[in-house]
Structures are given as C-alpha cells and as structure tokens.
Amino acid sequence: MLDLPGYPASDLRYLPREQVVAALDEVDCVEVTAQALRRHALGSTILPDEAYLPWQTPDGHSARSLGMPGAIRTDSGLDLGLKVINASLGNPDRGLARSQGLLMMFDPETAYPVCVMESAYISALRTAAVTAVSAQRLRTDPVGHLAVLGCGTLARAHLRLLPAVSDKLQTITLYDLDRSRAEALADALRADPDTADLTVRVEDSARACVDGADLVVTVTVTTEGYLAPEWFAPGALIAHVSLDDVLPEVVAAAGLVVVDDWGLVSHDDRRLLGRMWRAGTLRAPDGGYRPDATPDPTAAQVHTTLGDVLADRHPGRAEPGRLVLSNPFGMSILDVALGARVAAYAEEHDLGLRIPR
Amino acid sequence: MLDLPGYPASDLRYLPREQVVAALDEVDCVEVTAQALRRHALGSTILPDEAYLPWQTPDGHSARSLGMPGAIRTDSGLDLGLKVINASLGNPDRGLARSQGLLMMFDPETAYPVCVMESAYISALRTAAVTAVSAQRLRTDPVGHLAVLGCGTLARAHLRLLPAVSDKLQTITLYDLDRSRAEALADALRADPDTADLTVRVEDSARACVDGADLVVTVTVTTEGYLAPEWFAPGALIAHVSLDDVLPEVVAAAGLVVVDDWGLVSHDDRRLLGRMWRAGTLRAPDGGYRPDATPDPTAAQVHTTLGDVLADRHPGRAEPGRLVLSNPFGMSILDVALGARVAAYAEEHDLGLRIPR
C-alpha cells in the first residue's frame, strides 16, 4: 500500500504535571498573567470561541471537555496554543481531581505542536493569578482578611499565590459544604511555612465566612446564587471565579463590575452575568442593553475589563465603601501565556520527555 | 507553598504516527467510518462546533488550528475524543506535510485523557474512507476510472484505500498544478504492488484529468471553483473533499447532492455550499431556503446525508446519467471512531509509550 509523507524527525516535548509544577515555580505567574490581560485589552491576542463537548457519564454524572485555542503577540513573537481541559463531577467522590487535560503549544511557522503539558495545574494557577491581579488593581488597601468559599483545587491554587501578594494578610476564613474538606485545607495552611503565622478559621456558613473579609473568592461548583449584598463588608472585593455564587442583587449593588472579556461573558447563556444580559437586567460596558432584551431601568452594569484597568484606560476604582465584583470567565490566552513560559523553561533546562512525532 | 491535589499514578498512552499507522493497518477503516456515519444519522453522536484559531505565520503564510471534539454511543459504550489538527500553507515549500496535530481519547467516566496519538494520519485516512463509502453507496457500478485532482497527502490517503474498494478499477488519472508532485505520485503507484497493474496517467489539465472518470476526487487547496459540469462523464460521482473546486453550475446540474452533516455545511460561510445557502441559490434537504435569503427559483438542492443513505432512509441514487456530488465537510466523530479502534488495538498489543500524567 501507498505510504503517506511523514514528518521531520524532531521530537515533541512532553511535560507531565510534576514538571509543569517545577517550571511554573520559576515563573512569576501574577506578572505574566497581568501582561497577558493587558495585551488582550490592547488587541494583541486572538481568542476564538471554545469547543464544548458535554456528556453524561455511565455513572450518571455531568462531564465535559473544553477545547480552548488562543494566541498572543509578544515582544519576541507569537505564542500559540490550545488548552484541552476536561472535568467530571463524579471524580471527587472517587478521590480524584475534578479536572485534567493537556495544553499544546504550537510552532508559529509550521503550526506543528512542539510542547504538550498537563493543563489542569496551569489552569488552576492562572485562575488564581487573575484573582491576585484583581486584588492588586481593584483595591486601594492590601488584603487583611481573605475568605474562600469552596475548598477544592482552585482554593488551594489561590492560597498558593495570594499570601505572597498581600503583606498585610492576617486572617483566612474557609467554608465548604463538606466541612472535612475545609478542615483539611485549614490544616495544610497551618502546616505550611508561608501561612503558619496567619489566623485560619473554618466557618459554619458562607455568611460567617465572608463576614468582614476584604477579599472573597468563590471557587465552588454551584449553579445557584446564595451570596446576598448585605453579607459583605463595605468595599469588599468579590472574585467571582465560579460565576454563579452571587445573587443578582450583588451585581446591582456593586460600585464596580469588572470582567475579563465582555464577549465571553455576554455570549454565554448559562452563567449569571450572561443570563442577566439576556434578561435586560445588565448593561454592557458601553452602557447599552442587549438589543433584543426588554431594558430594565434599574439594570446593573458591567463597567470595564481587568485588561483596560491594567492598560490604564479605566481607573478600576469604586466609590469608597461600595462592593467591587470581578467576574473572570476564563481565557485560553492566559494558559497560553503561562504555557509559553513553561515550554521555554523546559527547553532551556531540558525538562520532561522527548517523544517521537 | 501549598500543594495542589494530584492524580492517580495511571499513565497516559502516547502513540506516535508510526504506531498509529501500524494500528490502523489492522482496522477496517471504511467499515468503521460507515458505521460512524450511520450512527450520526441515527442521533447517537455529539458533534459540537469546532474551535478555530487562524493566524498569519512570521513568513506570511496562512495557518490555523482546529479543535474538534466529538462523541459516539456504540454498542459497548461511549467513544469520546478531541482532535487538534493544525496546518500551515508554508509547510509544503519546506518539504513538510501541511498538517499535524494530536487526537486525544477520553475516559467516559473520569473525562481524563487516556490515549494521545498523532492525528494527521487518521484525519487523512478517515477523509479517504468517506470517499470510499460514497463510492460504494452512491454509485450502482464499481469505479473503473478514478481521477484525482491535487496530489498531496490526501491524494495518497485516497489511493491507499480506494484500490481495495473497487475490483473493476483500471485507470487512475492525476493532476496537480505542480506537475512534479503528480509525477512522483504516479511513480509511487506504478511501484506499488497494489496498483502496479493499473494504467496511471499524469494529465496536463484538470479537464483532461476528469474526462471520462467515474469517480473524481478533489483534494486541492483551492478557494475558487474551476470544474464545469460539461467536463464530467455522464453519471460521474464527484467526491468534493476540498469543498471549493466545483462551480455552482455543477451543484445545480447534479441529480443528487449529498453532505455529511447539513448543520456543518450550512453554518459555514467560507465554502461553496455554505455561500450558496446564504445567497439563496441552494435549498436545504427539506427543500427550504435559508430564512433570510432571497429565494432563487432555480436554486440547487442538497438532497440528503451520507448517513441517511447508509441508514436506508434515502436511496442514494440519482437518475441514470446525472452527476452525483458528495460534499463532506469533515466530522470529528469519524476521527473519534477510528481513534477508539486505534487506542483499543494499542492497549491490546501494548503499542506506543506510557507517559506519566
């Protein structure tokens, strides 16, 4: 039978999770993320719609695969990649992490994959890095009290990055529907030299957890809002990572609502802000309503993007005492930005495995 | 710093191209493809929109990455995967294959990737397999004269599969804008025991190439039509793989127009059939016009899908003597169907590499 043309003998580099962790330890995730957000605001990125495959597992759990490509033009060239990140809600019951996947980095000229790496670790770290950037740019005061709702992988990623960002941090409060998860995380924080000096408390309710906090991070799997505006301390920053935790009244009460990308948020019809946009109870950053929605004169508003704040196009400040809501949908370009640094570090130090094409 | 939870110690299986070729040699690609097409018609698949990242390479060529997830319910369970297939138009000038990528297969319960393999080979073979299925089901007579327009990787994939499908094949005609590519392919066919007994001719024009052929396969990179209806033999089957080779008059003249998925074809605005649908010069399989198009009373029509023909919902026959046009947009579920077989074979024979997560 006829042969098909092959490929050059160059290998692919493959990085298992352990090597991704090692490489990312050498990267300033918060700074790389801030730079990528800024480049996005300045139009130096390509952020296509993601591919979304949902299914029911044989055991009856919801599972999904996301395929998220992205590109960023940098000073030295073009960073290109595609993140695949899958999740099954049945995994935690099996003692498995909910998500896993692979991030591929591409050669800008041949388009061939050149480096493949485990993607869930990068994905968690870049999500936490966006919260860290928000804490730096959307607050005037450093964070003294951090509240974390949900105590899974994303909580740990946040608690890995955030203590280094605020030198005034004194208190961490934790809440999870499964108290044992919160206790396990509290124990880990008390045992960790980076956080051993802090007060760490497990709370009995979400309300007790957010009470008095300067920064509230939601990293749950809820699809229904439960956080009311009067629960928060005046001027608190809410990093609404899991996207469905706050009630619509919180969005309406906030003095500043910031997203990562208005297109991503408004095109989505499953999460709170997308639903509000469809219902006419949320206005776009330009003040307009969705053309086919019935305008609600009391509608809340999205004010700006985090990238525009970083690019100094928006002050990123609310009136003193008013809530600030950051609602990051999640962008592949941040994974690509970090993946490019990881790939470069791996190349330089010959980390990982060389695998044939 | 706080650690994040890890994963079970189970490895990923990685299959480089060589092992994918070895495994696929043991799979009946045409039958697996026919079965997947049938399952698609019967509603046993999930075929999400693909993610599409286009860019210009530093050398000024067009490049793109496609992320294509898909799922098929089979007798034994659920086959799930995501194909990443990238291409740069600058590659052939460098002596490189235009496309490369990776196909990932997922565990239906945990959603974790379990097998990763080179995807361009599978991608080319499944494309050729669709043509083989079309030749079997959309023609009454076996193919005696096969014409191939474009002599790259996809041409080779077709000439790897098609000779086995028709025992009446006598003549192969080839055409390429770069005659040396056609000559090289002709030499390979003459040297291959499977095709050494056939008459193989390189032609000077596309018109001479298709003249008298029963089956015409277009595997070019053109974005502009050039094939006129009067060039074809009466009753010829045109496998319009590259999607932009025939003129609109060919679609109008065809007695049977078959697609793989009407949603994929009609949502696309770059290729011929999608453009005709937008312009009101093509009707859907149900006979209707696009709602916002100005209906053209002389409009051509898409009659059915290949899956519906395979599921015996449509006879798949044109009036004798009239052209038949098969216009397969390309579906990830076919890659997933073949990938599942490759992964199973690799598992059974312990092919490829075990790489840590």
Q: Which of A346, A317, A199, A193 is nearest to A255 (CA)?
A: A317
Cβ within 8 Å, pair B53-A65? no
Q: Does B74 touch chain A (CB under 8 A)?
A: no
pLDDT value, residue A303:
98
Q: Does B188 touch chain A (CB under 8 A)?
A: yes
Q: CA of A276, closest CA in chain B: separation in Å? A: 25
Cβ within 8 Å, pair A96-B159? no
Task: Evaluate whether A71 touches A336 at the Cβ level (below 8 Å).
Answer: yes
pLDDT value, residue A9:
61
Other Cβ atoms within 10 Å of B285 Cβ, number: 17
pLDDT beneath 50, residues of chain A: none
CA distance A119 to A16: 9
CA distance B277 to A109: 34
pLDDT value, residue A88:
96
Contact residues for A313 (Cβ-Cβ < 8 A; gap 6+):
A41, A304
Cβ within 8 Å, pair B96-A110? yes
Q: Does B49 touch chain A (CB under 8 A)?
A: yes
Q: CA of A346, closest CA in chain B: separation in Å? A: 16
Residue A50 phi, psi (nearest 5): -85, 155
Q: Per residue in B263-311, pLDDT tens?
A: 999 999 999 999 999 999 999 999 999 999 998 999 999 999 999 999 9
Taking contacts as CB-CB distances below 8 angstroms, the residues of chain B near A194 are 1-2
CA distance A243 to B116: 32
CA distance B120 to B86: 9
Task: Evaluate whether A63 touches A89 at the Cβ level (below 8 Å).
Answer: yes
Q: Does A256 touch chain B (CB under 8 A)?
A: no
Contact residues for B299 (Cβ-Cβ < 8 A; gap 6+):
B252, B276, B280, B281, B282, B283, B289
pLDDT value, residue B279:
95
DSSP state of B332: H
Can you give the pLDDT of all 357 residues of chain B as single tens digits? 777 776 666 789 999 999 999 999 999 999 999 999 999 999 999 999 999 999 999 999 999 999 999 999 999 899 999 999 999 999 988 888 899 999 999 999 999 999 999 999 999 999 999 999 999 999 989 999 999 999 999 999 999 999 888 889 999 999 999 999 999 999 999 999 999 999 999 999 999 999 999 999 999 999 999 999 999 999 999 999 999 999 999 999 999 999 999 999 999 999 999 999 999 999 999 999 999 999 899 999 999 999 999 999 999 998 999 999 999 999 999 999 999 999 999 999 999 999 999
Q: For residue B54, give the chain A residue with the closest CA.
A: A46
3-state secondary structure of B353: strand
Task: Evaluate whether A335 touches A122 at the Cβ level (below 8 Å).
Answer: yes
Cβ within 8 Å, pair A84-B80? no
Query: What is the full DSSP assignment across B102-160?
Result: EEEEE-TTT--EEEEEE-HHHHHHHHHHHHHHHHHHS-SSPPSEEEEE--SHHHHHHHH
pLDDT value, residue A8:
65
Q: For residue A354, give the chain B residue with the closest CA.
A: B355
Q: Match 């898409």 to its residue by tokens.
A: B302
pLDDT value, residue B312:
96
Q: Match 């490829």 to its residue by tokens.
A: B352
CA distance A275 to A244: 10
CA distance B303 to B282: 11
What residue type is A173 in one-letter code?
Answer: T
**Structure tokens that stand for A340 in this block:** 């490019």
Alpha helix positions (H), chain A:
17-24, 29-41, 120-137, 153-165, 179-191, 206-210, 248-253, 262-267, 272-279, 306-310, 332-349
Mutate to test the interface with A, among B13, B21, B73, B106 (most CBs of A within 10 A): B106
E strand or H helix that includes residue B326: strand B324-327
**Structure tokens that stand for B32 in this block:** 């697996």
Query: What is the full DSSP assignment across A248-298?
Result: HHHHHH-SEEEES-HHHHHH-SSSHHHHHHHHTSEE-TTSPPPTTS---TT
Mutate to test the interface with B, among A4, A79, A100, A160 (most CBs of B within 10 A): A4
